[in-house]
Amino acid sequence: MEVDILEFRVPVENNKLVIVWDIQPVLTETQIYEQLFAVFSSFGPLYLLKVCPNAPLHPPGFYALVKFYSAAHASTAQRFTDGRSLFQSSALKVKLSSKQTPHFLSARNTPLSHAHCLELANHYLGFSGWTSDIITLKELTNEEEGEEEEDEVGGVTQKRLKFGCLMQLTFPQHGLKTRGAAVLEESFTCSGPDVLLQRRCKLQRWVREKALVQAFSTVLLILLGNGKVMVELKQTSDQFETDETEGVLQVNQFSCSESPADEEEANDEEWNLTVS
């Protein structure tokens, strides 16, 4: 039986990258993106889809980079789309990148963003296939070290906030639980209580998301050839046991209307355009 194993990390392997050429300049970039997404997402979830105009020395048109989480999905998509017209009058050229992934890239273990973690988990497990719970969310201080939480610089108050969070990730249908922890600190100019409230709210949200990402980094999705999905946990030295944390801290929750965007992991990734 064919088995594919997915991790909640940024895919860097070249066998997960599909390159599409000979896209006619009939549609706009946005329309091309929508057409390509509809086609390739039918083979499996996409980590990234990017449409680019051809270089100036080439005929007018576009090419696209399609990054899958699964190498099997990428291979299937290439076989079924190469030489097909799909959404235009002429055939598209669709190939897999074939050059061996550099060692420094294959050794990278960058976790997915919070948004990508949710997307991948919901796709394979469904919205009811997993749950997350806050075990501890606490504002940390440096009183024990004798440090002040506020500094006066040029008559302007500099405030420091630090939060720690412990999240539990549960997969009820598989009988598995795992935990992730994170600590975030931020320094900022405090011009009033409204600024402090907004910063505190944002930092609480960021540290919760960071802890959930850390918990997902211990999870393996095992895709079986019959369409079923199994969940396993990687054994890590810093993994938390269920009874390791005693008690739950009650923390005031702050609402914040402005939500920070998720960080992009793909901007610094080197795309390899060598094809088979």
- The string of DSSP codes covering 15-29 is GGEEEEEEE-TTS-H
Domain boundaries, the chain: 11-108, 114-244
The model's pTM is 0.79
How far, in whole angstroms, is CA 231 from its chain's centroid?
Answer: 18
The verdict on domain 114-244 having CATH code 1.10.3470 is no
Looking at per-residue confidence, does 260 or 19 come out higher?
19
Reduce the DSSP state of residue 172 to 3 states and report it. coil
Radius of gyration of the chain from its Cα atoms, rounded to whole angstroms = 23
User: How far, CA to CA in Å, does 171 sit from each of 130, 231, 234?
Assistant: 5, 8, 14
Q: How far apart are CA 13 and CA 11, in angstroms?
A: 6
What is the pLDDT at residue 214?
A: 94
Is the pLDDT score of 91 beyond 60? yes
How far, in whole angstroms, is CA 254 from its chain's centroid?
Answer: 25
- Name the CATH superfamily housing domain 11-108: RRM (RNA recognition motif) domain (3.30.70.330)
pLDDT tens per residue across span 96-113: 987 665 554 555 678 999
Region at 92 (left for phi over 0; alpha for psi -120 to 50; beta for the rest): beta
Q: What angle do CA 184, 187, 189 make, to 5 degrees?
A: 145
Query: Of 261, 253, 263, 256, which Cα lies nearest the Cα of 195?
Result: 256
pLDDT tens per residue across span 208-237: 999 999 999 999 999 988 889 999 998 765
Reduce the DSSP state of residue 193 to 3 states and report it. helix
Q: Which residues pair with 7 in a beta bridge?
A: 220
Cβ contact 44:68 at 8 Å: yes
Is the pLDDT score of 275 beyond 80? no
- The pLDDT confidence band at residue 95, using thresholds 50, 70 and 90, is very high
Looking at per-residue confidence, does 259 or 150 come out higher?
150
Same fold, 11-108 and 114-244: no
Is the pLDDT score of 78 beyond 70? yes
